[in-house]
Amino acid sequence: MFIYLQRCPILLRFLVVLFFLHTVFIASVKATQAGEEKVTIVAKNVPLRDVFKSITKQTGYHLFYSPEVVNVLERVSLEVKQQPVDDVLQSLLGNKNLTWVYNEDAIAIRVKEKSPDEKKRIDRIEDDSITNPLPQTVTGKVTDANGNAIPGATVMVKGTREGATADAEGKFTLHNVKNRSVLVISSIGYEARELTVKGKSILAQLNMDVQALDETVVIAYGTTSQRLSTGNIATVKAEEIERQPVNNPLLALQGRVPGLFIQQSTGLPGTAVRVQVQGQNSILNGNDPLYVIDGVPYSSQSLPNLGAILAPPNGQSAIVGNNPLGFINPADIESITVLKDADATSIYGSRAANGAILITTKKGKAGDTRVSINMQKGWGKVPRKLDLLNRDQYLEMRHEALRNDSKTISPTDYDLNGTWDTLRSTDWQKELIGKAAAYFDVQASVSGGNDNTQYLIGSGFHRETTVFPGDFSDQKGSVHFNINNKSKNQKFKVQLSGSYLIDNNHLPNQDLTSYAVQLAPVAPKLYLPDGTLNWQTDGNGKATWENPLRYTLTKYHNKTTNLTSNGMLSYTIIPGLDISTSMGYTNMQSSDKQLTGMNYYRPEDRPFNIPIGVYGSYNINSWIVEPQINLKRQFGPGRIDALLGSTIQQTNSNSQQLIGGGFANDLLLEDIKSASILIVSSTLDQIYKYNALFGRLNYNLFDKYIVNLAARRDGSSRFGPENRFHNFYSVAGAWIFSKENFLKNNVSFLSFGKVRASYGTTGSDQIQDYRYINLYNKVNSDLAYLGGTGLEPASLYNPYLQWEETRKLQLGLDIGLLGDRILLNTNYIRNRSSNQLLDYPLPGTTGFNGIARNLPATVENSAWEFTVNTVNTKSRNLTWSMNFNITLPKNKLHAFPNIEQTSYASSYIVGEPITFINRFHFLGVDKTTGLYIFENRKGDQTSSPSKPDDQIVRINTSPKFYGGLQNSFTYKRFNLTFLLQFVKQRAQDIDFGISLPGAFFSLGNQPITVVKRWKQVNDNSNIQRYNSDYSRNTPYFNAVDSDMGYGDASFIRLKNLSLSYQLAETLSRQIRLNNLRIYAQAQNILTFTNYKGLDPETRSSLTLPSLRVFTVGFQANL
Amino acid sequence: MNANINCSDERLDHLITLLKHFAITLRQYGIITLATFMITVIFLCSCSKFVEVEAPKTSINQENVFSNDATATAILTGIYIKMSGRNLSSIGGISTIPFVTGLSGDELILYNNVNNPIYIAYYQNSLTTSNVGAQDYWNELYKTIYTCNSAIEGLDKATSISPIVKKQLLGESKFIRALNFFYLLNLYGDLPITRTTDYSINGTLNRSPKSQVYELIIQDLLDALNLLTDNYVDNSLVNPTSERVRPNVWAAKALLARVYLYNKNYVEAENMASQVINNTALYHLNALNEIFLKNSAEAIWQLQPVNNDFNTEDARFFIIPQTGLSDQWPVYLSQQLLSSFETGDRRKTQWLGFFVDTTITPHKTYYYPFKYKVSERYEPVTEYATVLRLGEQYLIRAEARAQLGKLTEAADDLYSIRERAGLGKVIPSSQLAMLEAILHERQVELFTEWGHRWLDLKRFKKVDEVMTIVTPLKGGVWSTNWQLYPIPEADMRFNPNIIQNPGY
């Protein structure tokens, strides 16, 4: 076998690799002594595995090793001609503290135990195949690379039904086996292999199969595998993330991870995403998990922005409340690991009470320079329209409402009095949110490197427009790089990664969805013939409606840049003992502008308003240094893995906002210097410091019994001097019982079995900075008062603030069946959060709404989490795999001593979920008055129940269960994957109307459900009489706030569908591309639900629902 | 893991010894020792100084606030700024009381195209506990009281503030606290008396009976009398100024006169009002169109405008622009008020403005309060929002005297007000008739000012009589319970000792 890999054009190089992979060249070299066989190998930077294959082909030796001992993916370069195989191995493995043993037809590689020169050689069993052509009895032994017996291994004679199972010592016997027949030897967890019978006794060694259970899983300060982990960990990989056209990587986790509940707040690009790991631990405060990107903690709180802080003109609520993960390019992510239990998270101490989400970015791989490109284009649409009143139904409602209230059509009933054209009928949903949003995404990367240095440079561009009329878009450009280097002696390692993303978000100042569903069908045209906004003014020149497109004239631009970077230096002092330091720096900067020109205002408001620009700039930077010592060595009969480290972290945030006025005209708004008046409306300057000491000790005995201990001491600047520090710990153990002989021998279908348990503590310091100091803030005003400024108390302060602590108990059972083709994971979790750190709500008499304080409440979250992974079919052409997960969460207030003395007395009940909300009990509509009636606390009927006393029904708004089902089919070159997400929950619905049915204020349309209203005495209805003057607003609101206002919001959603086709190499090469894959992907395709509102996920009808996105694209290597 | 958290000197010595030791061993053991040493140092440094932060530069902590005159003064200034800058349409601040009590009572009509549920609830006397409107005044006024309490506590402890400033600020704090309790009491009835910043006390109080709240108000105002300056001072609190925008002793007396009157202590009410009226060096009645000008002679306490380009928020909010009523200009004056002006009352022409809607036939005229006249942008500042004025003192004294049986003197005081409106003297036929005349005079003199009408209706026990007629006209149903606003839901929920007002 000759392999020439030299500098040549990429295509040619690829051909050579293919040639190498496909050519069969067996050199029949016979040597007198094992290891003396001559081989010829010329390889440049190829995986060790390929060299091994070449050796096998040339010598007939199969090489055996366990993946922990030999990294066969390691790239090596070699040039030998007719050298003894032993010398070749010496040059390849000699410096790796390894030794190898020759068997009949195998070389087993293992860790050198004694002197380096000791090479045990076993003489080959004499080949008597020629002398004995008759069928004979063959005995043999099946072992792993280390020579350990593999009981239960199956040995079949190929092409027959003859076979045997290895006994407890790995031994088997086969009768009547013809010489030269081929045996197929397989066992769960090992790669199957074929062996030609050449004698009476056979020693078959099997390599461990690197499969799902053994894939590397990233954990806090290290890695492990699903097989050996003691914690509750779930991983989602790049291929699954890439399959989904989403703009926030968190959305790619929906329905995939048990115990993780993710909710999108609106369908607009760049908006908030709610994430909850294993339920709501904290009664009120931060339930955000800890995000860690390549070892560096990443903010879970978004930067403040104008949209969120300053109410835009007229008190309209703003729409942009971004999530910081939206500033991470999903395409840069290699894997996302969700850590849930104490074992996995307590080493993060105070920050991980709500779990941790670790994001690992893509790293360079050694090998040829690889250029890959992935491009997709698509469309997003609002997936569902509300069923609203049509024009006639709307007019009927309005007239009836006036009749009900004994009113005549008034000068302000513009929809009825002729000011508006009552013959018009507009589908506002089509008009305002009916457009298709464009979706475009392109990613390119270059990677490569050699044995010692690898690099990756990737770049991406992403653009999404909105479904609103007008030119709005969210545009992201990003660069990602990674460099790894290790010294020649492998002792010193450097790793550097960084990502930089620029997000340019242009949005209107208001989500138009609320207008789309509420504007009367007879509302006027949007534009006048001259192209300006139509205000449909009355005789005084006053607008008769609020033209929704005014919000498209107040532009909101947000430009955010995000830099995340990290570096790692490590040095191996002696084999097994490493010291390292990781360093990280993140900087998120954003600047935004909210520009309100005169054309935004209604004509009558213009004399009282001026063009105003609000300009904000925000900056969060954070650095972290984490020195660590890591010890890995054999200790007694087992392996020890110990870690000791320290964290020093600081986060600075500052911001300022300016308001500019007095612009000569609207066009000058973009430029702040054109403002003649400039006011600094707010400034912010905060520092958060964090310091910790942590350690972990892992002991692994025979890969069977594993104990993991972790501890951390944390200090945070968010607490007063008395309570700054706190200790956290965890204890965990796992028993891989399938390795026990009594099971190994007797239960053959069980390929893997592990029980896990962990218990420990984590904490939370998720409160605002400085809550322990009594602070005064400046009172904002345009002008000074008598030349002086004003101050006011910022909030109530509490110098005794302490950490919140969550005790997590977790029990797990992992089972692999039929050669791990079926993997079952079961977890039972019970988390108890105590010393609740919360914004304790206070009566107004205290001057504020609440205070940050600790309360002795204990909230318990328990859950069952199940995951099933199966490979249903695996044949040459068709592979069908399935993944199913379901979480059954339960939440309750476990204890709350003296609750009756606190302000929670009426909100929470010990033993009941904290997600319960109290609501009125709906009785229907009074047959005489036509008004909603409710049951009060005394059991009487009333149409004016009072809060909170009469809120006698409790409704649980948290999901009852949720999960996902994914199926993946690969047929020849096609792949089809789809994910069904399901949630069982209750939420507020729109049965009673979106606002008071019958009233009018330029908005007023209603869902079709209101037509079943009460019309006259003795009518039996669940919808109260139409009402035009808001005099029946209170019963309406009470009904919305009653138990009947809440409906089933469960849904099953075809979340993701992806179809791809890998072009045949011959074909794709003709167009000068490699690995060309074309695909079509779709998100939020179908939703099955009883929910009447727009979207059961956002649980709202007034905000844009999650869009249905279709894309097509291709991926290729150059 | 128990960590060396405290970096004491002792530990530092220890460190140095360690250092020497390592220096020696370093040579012997080389790199391993070096690494161990480095790591040890890192861990030793893992101490509390890494988690100590200073207060943010954008805020001031309490110690600093009460360490110098300027920042201490700024606390009270902050209250005035918030009072002055508050837009009337954003219900809740004490200065929006004219708008909201006008809606609740018989002064204002809400434009029927306005669907703000809070406006409607106040207007139709249909507030509920769940109505967000219910918490507006309660929360805002208690917050101001908290600020006063924190100022009083801070000033009491302060050592480096000059005595004059400290005295004035204590006086202002007590005055403002009294003012806020006065309005809370009259809007909500019995109140929890909060006199500290301790939330654990403030959040669990019972509602004290009206009389006890009045005791506190009176005590605060009496204290203020002794603390506040005689003349008007500028931001230094020392130098006199013509700007009447910080309360002085006369403001305290004027408010005290009102409180005594409400409390039926007519002797003291007369006495206090007389003291203010007799200070002719500072105060005298102005012509109708000069009362609300800045630093007018009738003004006892005014608020300086703080919003760019505008005079008063009253003018901006009440004066209906040429394009007519809308959700930004949602109210106009009621027929009840308009028809209560006597013929020839100059206030009808000088204090009422109108807007004619020509889009409908017949054209409709809407009247609005025109006491403050400058509503446009960019006009020079000529008007200040007037909180306390001499006119009210005459009416207080008239009422006190009438109650004391001094009907002639009462008629004289009343005439002082009527005269400038171009009206004649009321001849008192009986005490009751005199009081009726005073109530009527207060209606047309003090309309849309500081909730006088709403409070008077209740004080004169006329509220049921009047509102039984008015509320149905507004689309609501009157009950005597609606004369008190409901205690907010949050307080009911979070303070188990609070009892709701009847009917809610």
Neighbours of B416 (CB within 10 A): 17
The answer to whether A782 faces chain B, any CB pair under 8 Å, is yes
The Cβ-side half-sphere exposure at A612, using a 13 Å CA radius, reads: 17
Q: Which residues of chain A have pLDDT under 50?
A: 1-32, 114-131, 308-321
User: What are the DSSP calls for B427-482, one per residue?
Assistant: PPS-HHHHHHHHHHHHHHHSTTSTTHHHHHHHHTT-HHHHHHHHHHHTT----GGG
- Using one digit for the tens of pLDDT, what is the confidence trace for B435-471? 999 999 999 999 999 999 999 999 999 999 999 999 9
8 A C-beta contact, residue A796 and residue B199: yes
- CA B133 to chain CA centroid, Å, is 17
- CA B129 to chain CA centroid, Å, is 22
Distance CA A1079, CA A718 (A): 49
Q: Which class for A676: exposed (0-12), middle (13-18), buried (19 or more C-beta within 10 A)?
A: exposed
- Asked if A538's CB is within 8 angstroms of B85's CB, the reply is no
Distance CA A850, CA A843 (A): 8
pLDDT score recorded for residue A305: 57
- Asked if A846's CB is within 8 angstroms of B203's CB, the reply is yes
Place of tokens 């013959």: A423
pLDDT score recorded for residue A557: 83
Distance from CA of B86 to the nearest CA of A (A): 10
Distance from CA of B89 to the nearest CA of A (A): 11
The answer to whether A944 faces chain B, any CB pair under 8 Å, is yes
Contacting B residues, span 6-25, partner chain A, CB-CB under 8 Å = none
8 A C-beta contact, residue B308 and residue A661: yes
Query: Cα dist. A706→A209, A216, A639, A979, B163 in Å?
Result: 21, 17, 9, 35, 72
8 A C-beta contact, residue A764 and residue A354: yes
Distance from CA of A549 to the nearest CA of B (A): 19
8 A C-beta contact, residue A884 and residue A965: yes
- Asked if B358's CB is within 8 angstroms of A539's CB, the reply is yes
- Asked if A777's CB is within 8 angstroms of B495's CB, the reply is no
- Asked if A949's CB is within 8 angstroms of B1's CB, the reply is no
pLDDT score recorded for residue A308: 37
- Asked if B3's CB is within 8 angstroms of A846's CB, the reply is no
Contacting B residues, span 478-497, partner chain A, CB-CB under 8 Å = 488-496
Which chain A residues touch B234 with a CB distance below 8 Å? 786-787
- Asked if A847's CB is within 8 angstroms of B202's CB, the reply is yes
Query: Cα dist. A1025→A491, A1020, A1044 in Å?
Result: 81, 11, 17
Strand partners, A163: A156
The answer to whether A598 faces chain B, any CB pair under 8 Å, is no
8 A C-beta contact, residue A202 and residue A139: yes
Which chain B residues touch A790 with a CB distance below 8 Å? 74-75, 77-82
The answer to whether A720 faces chain B, any CB pair under 8 Å, is no
Name A98's Cβ contacts closer than 8 Å, sequence gap at least 6.
Answer: A69, A70, A109, A110, A111, A112
Q: What is the gyration radius of the CA atoms in chain A, in angstroms?
A: 34
Distance CA A1117, CA A1096 (A): 40
| Nearest-Cα residue of chain A relative to residue B192 | A845
8 A C-beta contact, residue B499 and residue B207: yes
pLDDT score recorded for residue B190: 95
Who among A607, A689, A782 is closest to B306 (CB)?
A782
Closest CA to A1094 of A1033, A1055, A1051: A1051
Q: Which residues of chain B have pLDDT under 50?
A: 1-8, 26, 45-46
| Nearest-Cα residue of chain A relative to residue B128 | A946
Calculate the dihedral angle through the C-alpha atoms of B282, B286, B290, B291, rounding to the nearest 10 degrees. 70
pLDDT score recorded for residue B35: 59
User: What are the DSSP calls for A442-484, one per residue?
Assistant: EEEEEEEE-SSEEEEEEEEEEEEE-SSSS--EEEEEEEEEEEE
Neighbours of A733 (CB within 10 A): 17
How many CB pairs lie under 8 A apart between chains A and B?
323
Distance CA A699, CA A741 (A): 21
Name B282's Cβ contacts closer than 8 Å, sequence gap at least 6.
Answer: B231, B250, B297
pLDDT score recorded for residue A189: 59
Contacting B residues, span 395-414, partner chain A, CB-CB under 8 Å = none
- Selected for mutation to probe chain A from B157, B199, B381 (highest A CB count within 10 Å) is B199
In one-letter notation, the amino acid at residue B22 is: F
The two three-digit tokens of residue A629, written as one number? 């010592």
The Cβ-side half-sphere exposure at B117, using a 13 Å CA radius, reads: 16
Neighbours of A389 (CB within 10 A): 23
8 A C-beta contact, residue A763 and residue A350: yes
Distance from CA of B482 to the nearest CA of A (A): 14
- Asked if A782's CB is within 8 angstroms of B307's CB, the reply is yes
Q: What is the pTM of this model?
A: 0.72
- Using one digit for the tens of pLDDT, what is the confidence trace for A405-449? 888 888 778 888 888 888 888 899 998 999 999 999 999 999 888
The answer to whether A406 faces chain B, any CB pair under 8 Å, is no
Distance CA A934, CA B369 (A): 42
Backbone dihedral region for residue A489 (phi beyond 0: left; psi -120 to 50: alpha; all else: beta): alpha
- Asked if B3's CB is within 8 angstroms of A713's CB, the reply is yes
Name B254's Cβ contacts closer than 8 Å, sequence gap at least 6.
Answer: B272, B273, B276, B300, B301, B388, B392, B393
- Asked if A947's CB is within 8 angstroms of B129's CB, the reply is yes
The two three-digit tokens of residue A1069, written as one number? 């090469």
Beta strands in A147-232 (DSSP E): 154-157, 163-165, 171-177, 182-186, 193-196, 201-206, 216-219, 222-225
pLDDT score recorded for residue A5: 34
The answer to whether A783 faces chain B, any CB pair under 8 Å, is yes
Distance CA A98, CA A70 (A): 9
In one-letter notation, the amino acid at residue A83 is: Q
Name A1007's Cβ contacts closer than 8 Å, sequence gap at least 6.
Answer: A386, A387, A388, A389, A990, A991, A993, A994, A1092, A1101
- Strand pairing report for A62-64 and A106-111: parallel
pLDDT score recorded for residue A1081: 92
Distance from CA of A273 to the nearest CA of B (A): 28
pLDDT score recorded for residue A982: 94
8 A C-beta contact, residue A613 and residue A674: no
Q: Which class for A408: exposed (0-12), middle (13-18), buried (19 or more C-beta within 10 A)?
A: exposed
Q: Which DSSP category does A627 fall into?
A: E
- Asked if B323's CB is within 8 angstroms of A790's CB, the reply is no
